[in-house]
Amino acid sequence: MTLECLDGKRLSARTQSCKFIVLMVGMGLVLSLGGAAPAGAESNALVRFYYSNWISGSVTRSPFDPVGGHEGEPLQPLVKGEAEIILFKRVGISYTRQKVGRNFEEGGLEVEEYSLQTFSNLTLYLMASSHNAFNLFGGAGGGQGDYRLYLNRFEKVDPLYENIPLFRRFVGMEYTLERIGFRLELTRIEGAKLDGSRQVSMDQRLGYFSVYIPFN
């Protein structure tokens, strides 16, 4: 990720994610070196790491299937990781990296498509985040996706498939225990990229079940 951020050809497409990574690292250092709460007090800045490979939902539109003819095709297991800092127990700033894909047949072709997506997100929590508590949340994020398409196991390469701008909206619920938490999330991801008269677009409606570790 660092090399990609410093690569001049990709700088403009990845600036948002790079800035967010720097912000996360800086805030993490502040929390670890000087932001600890006094003994017996609870910190206002919370750190979490999320992991999920449970997914449901559908790909409504993709570069290969722009009209949604294969919307009902089952999704491959999701691989999703996310790091979040929650400020004032109600405002979350996070970075997400995930893979969404599926397999199906079209006109005698064996089709495999997936996208590697990264997002910087802002999450608002209904109640103050704490242990042994239920909460509701909602938010949005911006990022990009690299789309991959394989026809009969041969990759179809197209410059339009790289760095597709994406936007996501999400809502959900969670329950946090002392050392572990569980989250259900519904999200919609949309994006499009235009190059002259050519355009590719994506539309995904997904549901996740995630396990997370609260560090505070």
**88 within some domain:** yes
**168 within some domain:** yes
**198 within some domain:** yes
Please indicate whether residue 29 or residue 192 has the higher confidence score (pLDDT). 192
pLDDT value at residue 27: 54
Mean pLDDT over each residue of the chain, to the nearest integer: 84
The domain spanning residue 82 has which CATH number? 2.40.160.20
Report pLDDT digits (tens) over 133-178. Answer: 999 999 999 999 999 999 999 999 999 999 999 999 999 999 999 9
CA distance 215 to 204: 31
**156 within some domain:** yes
**74 within some domain:** yes
Residue 97 has pLDDT above 60, yes or no: yes
Which residue do the tokens 């979350």 mark? 92
pLDDT value at residue 28: 52
Report pLDDT digits (tens) over 13-70. Answer: 445 455 555 555 555 544 544 444 455 555 678 999 999 988 889 999 999 999 889 9
Split into its structural domains, the chain has a count of 1
CA distances from 186 to 7, 20, 49, 105 (A): 34, 23, 18, 27
Task: Residue 201: give the domain boundaries.
Answer: 43-214
**30 within some domain:** no
- Report residue 99 as tokens: 């893979």
Dihedral angle sign, alpha carbons of residues 15, 16, 17, 21: positive
**76 within some domain:** yes
Residue 216 has pLDDT above 70, yes or no: yes
pLDDT value at residue 36: 47
**173 within some domain:** yes
**pTM exceeds 0.75, yes or no:** yes
